[in-house]
Amino acid sequence: MPYPPYFQEKHDVFRNMVRHFVKTEIAPYVDEWEEKGEFPLSILRRMGDLGLLGVHYPRDVGGQGGDYFMAVVLAEELARSGAGGFPMAVAVQTDMATPPIARFGSPQQIERYFKPALAGTKLACLGITEPNHGSDVASIETRAQLQAGEWIVRGSKVFITNGPRADFMTLVARTRDVPGYQGLSLFLLDLDRPGVHLMKRIEKVGMRSSDTALFYFDDVRIPYDALLGEEGRGFSQIMWELQGERLIAAAGALGSAQYAWEMARDYALQRRIYDQSLSRLQTISHLVAEMATEIEAVRQLTYEAAWHFSQGEVLTGDIAMAKLATAQTANWVIDRTMQIMGGHGYIRDWPIERMWRDIRLNRIGGGTDEIMKEIIATTMGIKTSR
């Protein structure tokens, strides 16, 4: 089905290229990466060589000069690896930790951090969540205090994707002793500095090929020019980043739902029961049809929000709707796919059991379902309690 004005022939060519790459260079190795709990950094460099990490960034900063829907295609197609962990790690590299550098970074920061991230030679992570603060970004406690021309960072960050092996962190910290969002700033923190302590590699239910960390910062000294953007403007800068993060999460969930639906359809056509195709059972055929309908609905919602975002319109309510709807739909579709496949869906011979575990994070990470509903209600002028 065509989706003007979103996609053109160049997007179809790119989709076919990424799909082939995923089929030949990612999917065959996902089981191994899941068992190990991390992916090899060489695959990130490989993606950098192919231009996949900077597909929608301008050429003058190391990107490929494509549009935002190239990023949407990449997120959808990476889901066909049958695992959520590695695609999530890539999304952090391309659409979470690095966009603030592209938008607010100095020429020196672009050279030192952004271009190597797009080349896959430096691994990035994003430091927002803390042990006591998640979706409530304005309550962050990690502090960066200016002393003799240096910033002294104290605090901790948790659930940091890519953290155990990352070269640097895009860090949100408090630089002013004022309550709420007014005192937050962004920094680029090299993780090999003295005082940076990797306290724990976090074991998760799913997303296991993506390594996750808990950090403690014990008087970490970083130079003044580690400040990213304007001091005290970190909240607006990171909230802008979160919109792109949620859209890419929506695109990834959409890709997962589509891939699961194809598995459900194919299994229903091939599996025989009572001497007929499983798909001939009305309960199954109607369920597959309902799944396709729900996917198409959230696809339209996601593409529309992404199109506005690509035009510079940050519609927070629409983005929250896309994130919420795709996460819930993907969870529902993948769960129904497992049900259709019966016992085969519950064993590790098929990727659906891993997708079932992985997709649950989409309703938590980047803002929970409940936070998305708060945002949607607020944009509609509905008063909500805080």
What percent of the chain is predicted at pLDDT more than 70?
97
Residue 284 has pLDDT above 90, yes or no: no
Tell me how far apart the alpha carbons of residues 216 and 198 are, in angstroms, rounded to a whole number.
Answer: 7
Annotated catalytic residue, options 38, 76, 241, 245: 245
pTM, to two decimals:
0.94
Please, what is the average pLDDT of the chain? 93
Determine the Cα–Cα distance for residues 123 and 117; give it in Å rounded to an integer: 6
Residue 199 has pLDDT above 70, yes or no: yes
Q: How many contiguous H segments (helices) and E segments (strands) does the chain have?
A: 13, 10
At 177, is the pLDDT very low, low, confident or very high (cuts 50, 70, 90)? confident
Per residue in 246-277, pLDDT (tens digit) is: 999 999 999 999 999 999 999 888 887 776 77
- What token pair was written down for 287? 């369920």
Using pLDDT thresholds of 50, 70 and 90, give the confidence band for residue 35.
very high
Q: At what angle do helices 282-310 and 234-270 cross, to 10 degrees?
A: 150
pLDDT, position 4: 66
Q: What is the pLDDT at residue 385? A: 62
Residue 311 backbone phi and psi in degrees, to 5: -95, 5
Whole-angstrom distance, CA of residue 196 vs CA of residue 160: 14
Stretch 184-191: mean pLDDT, rounded?
Answer: 97
Q: 29: number of CA atoms within 13 Å, CB side?
A: 15
What's residue 179's pLDDT?
74
Q: In the chain, what are the domains?
A: 9-123 (1.10.540.10), 125-232 (2.40.110.10), 235-379 (1.20.140.10)
- Identify the pLDDT of residue 62: 93
* CA-to-CA separations, 64 to 71, 89, 326, in angstroms, rounded: 11, 20, 28
The answer to whether the bond into 5 is cis (omega within 30° of 0) is yes
- Give the model confidence (pLDDT) of 330-359 as tens digits: 999 999 999 999 999 999 888 999 999 999
pLDDT for position 204:
95
Under the banding of pLDDT at 50, 70 and 90, the label for residue 375 is very high
Instruction: Give the pLDDT of residue 270.
Output: 85
Whats the size of the chain, residue-wise? Answer: 386
38 is catalytic: no
